[in-house]
């Protein structure tokens, strides 16, 4: 059974109202003016990466495809719009028949991106495309921010395990999306069962301090957990005295104890002491898991510590200081009339203050050097140069309103690992710097 195909409590029946009111008022005016059916091209991109970031990570593409499929104006939604007088009768009639029938191209999920990268291109009539702006941006801005933080943490973890455990630090539905994005960015598992149920992400979890405090002694708590969950469980050892807890843990579970978790204190120092103590007690294969407000910098500082896995919560689900990617959804080309054969005309906002955009329907490719390492993100509106033809980044996601680009989450996760590995080595440095690749316009 594929949980992603089920109607689950973490889903909503319709995404039609995940939008801003001005999308509908624009639609109403365009219908009245006779311009609503003009063929249009919208693109999603960001003008800059968050300060200090060297690359972005695209996540949420699969959720965007779900949202487009579920963008339907059912009777209850239409009645809400009528009661509020948000749109008029003809517009309500048009919305009642709404189905996206256009095409969507984009970077595949897990791919990296840079300023100006056209990570998503939505094509169809102005009316059907403009309505999707807010829901697309809300998904991509949130999920890509989480995936970028996860990628930075994954890069410095050096192959050690990463557990997403931030559900209690964000909205309950955002937590599910955050788990998914973290998995794309390189995390191995989540504590959030809804994410495991919805997306098949591996789930983990054993006990909190409350379980130890419930019992008359730490030994009683450890014994109850081991007898129930087996010797391979993870025992939390910092409720009282860490050294005494480690001794008791091995006494109760034996050298087969799966892991101990440390959630407080000087993690570098404590991890070294715990490792030495476990080895002295014969528990050489017992793993050490550390938690406690970790971020990529804390994880990097523990590189020399005998740590086997990290559990990350708050900093991960808030994008490690950058909870959005500042992606925008801009009209870049439109036809001069509603005639399906009318040619597309490039359009662009002209503005001071860094908000200008580049018009035209774009392609994107990544140029590499002789060793296969990426050296530039090339974006253009004309013919694709022959030397870049096999390096194009956009793939078809929706064709004539039908989703054709859905894929397993594991594919996005593997793609990101490969994409990050193809960047210059400085991409994973935590020191502040410019994007690791320049964006060139052809």
The reported pLDDT for the residue numbered 353 is 67
CB atoms within 10 A of CB 436: 21
Q: Provide φ and ψ at 397, rounded to 5°.
A: -110, -35
Tokens 């410095």, residue located: 156
CA distances from 235 to 47, 158, 224, 259, 260 (A): 46, 24, 11, 6, 5
Tell me the whole-structure pTM to 2 decimals.
0.94
Q: For every residue of 394-437, which 3-state class applies, written as one string?
A: CEEEEECCEECCCCCHHHHHHHHHHHHHCCCHHHHCCCCCCCCC
Structural domains present in the chain: 3-131+326-441 (3.20.140.10), 146-321 (3.20.20.70)
302-361 per-position pLDDT tens digit: 999 999 999 999 999 999 999 999 999 999 999 999 998 899 999 998 876 677 789 999
The reported pLDDT for the residue numbered 340 is 87
For residue 122, give the H/E element and its range: strand 120-125
The reported pLDDT for the residue numbered 12 is 56
Whole-angstrom Cα distance, residue 291 to residue 265?
10
> Is the separation of the CB atoms in 258 and 234 below 8 Å?
yes
Residues of the chain with pLDDT under 70: 1-13, 352-353
The DSSP-derived string for 339-367 is -TTPPEEE-----SSS-----S--EEEEE
161-211 per-position pLDDT tens digit: 999 999 999 999 999 999 999 999 999 999 999 999 999 999 999 999 999
Encoded tokens for 414: 């593997």
Whole-angstrom Cα distance, residue 84 to residue 67?
24
Bridge partners of 120, per DSSP, are: 44, 106
186 torsion bin: left (phi>0), alpha (psi -120 to 50), beta (else)? left
- Residue 203 DSSP code: B
The reported pLDDT for the residue numbered 8 is 46
The DSSP-derived string for 208-269 is -HHHHHHSSSHHHHHHHHHHHH-TTSEEE--SS-HHHHHHHHHHHH-TT--EEEE-SS-HHH
């Amino acid at each position: 059974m594929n949980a992603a195909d089920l109607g689950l409590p973490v889903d909503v029946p319709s995404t039609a109202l995940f939008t801003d009111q001005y999308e509908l008022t624009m639609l109403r005016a365009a219908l009245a003016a006779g311009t609503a059916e003009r063929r249009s091209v919208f693109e999603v991109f960001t003008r800059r990466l968050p300060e200090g970031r060297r690359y972005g990570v695209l996540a949420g593409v699969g959720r965007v495809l779900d949202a487009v499929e579920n963008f339907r104006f059912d009777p209850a939604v239409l009645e809400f719009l009528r009661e509020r007088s948000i749109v008029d009768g003809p517009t309500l009639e048009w919305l009642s028949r709404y189905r996206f029938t256009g095409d969507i191209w984009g970077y595949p999920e897990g791919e990296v991106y840079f300023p100006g990268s056209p990570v998503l291109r939505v094509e169809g009539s102005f009316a059907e495309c403009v309505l999707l702006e807010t829901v697309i941006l809300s998904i991509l801005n949130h999920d890509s921010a989480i995936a970028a933080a996860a990628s930075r943490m994954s890069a410095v973890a050096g192959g050690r395990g990463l557990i997403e455990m931030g559900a209690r630090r964000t909205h309950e539905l955002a937590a599910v999306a955050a788990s998914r994005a973290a998995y794309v960015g390189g995390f191995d598992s989540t504590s959030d069962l809804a994410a495991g149920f919805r997306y098949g992400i591996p789930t983990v979890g054993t006990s909190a301090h409350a379980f130890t405090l419930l019992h008359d002694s730490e030994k009683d708590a450890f014994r109850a957990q081991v007898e129930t969950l087996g010797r391979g469980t993870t025992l939390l050892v910092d409720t009282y005295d860490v050294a005494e807890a480690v001794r008791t843990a091995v006494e109760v579970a034996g050298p087969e104890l799966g892991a101990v978790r440390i959630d407080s204190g000087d993690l570098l120092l404590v991890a070294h002491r715990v490792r030495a103590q476990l080895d002295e007690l014969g528990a050489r294969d017992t793993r050490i898991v550390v938690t406690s407000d970790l971020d990529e910098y804390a994880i990097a500082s523990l590189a020399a510590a005998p740590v086997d896995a990290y559990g990350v919560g708050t900093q991960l689900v808030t994008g490690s200081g950058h909870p959005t990617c500042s992606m925008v959804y801009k009209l870049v080309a439109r036809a001069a009339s509603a005639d399906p054969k009318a040619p597309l005309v490039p359009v662009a906002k002209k503005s001071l203050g860094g908000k200008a955009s580049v018009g035209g329907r774009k392609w994107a490719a990544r140029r590499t050097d002789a060793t296969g390492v990426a050296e530039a993100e090339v974006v253009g509106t004309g013919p694709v140069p022959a030397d870049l033809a096999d390096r194009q980044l956009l793939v078809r996601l929706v064709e004539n309103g039908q989703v054709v680009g859905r894929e397993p989450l594991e594919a996005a996760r593997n793609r990101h690992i490969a994409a990050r590995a193809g960047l210059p080595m400085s991409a994973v440095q935590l020191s502040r710097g410019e994007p690791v690749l320049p964006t060139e316009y052809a």
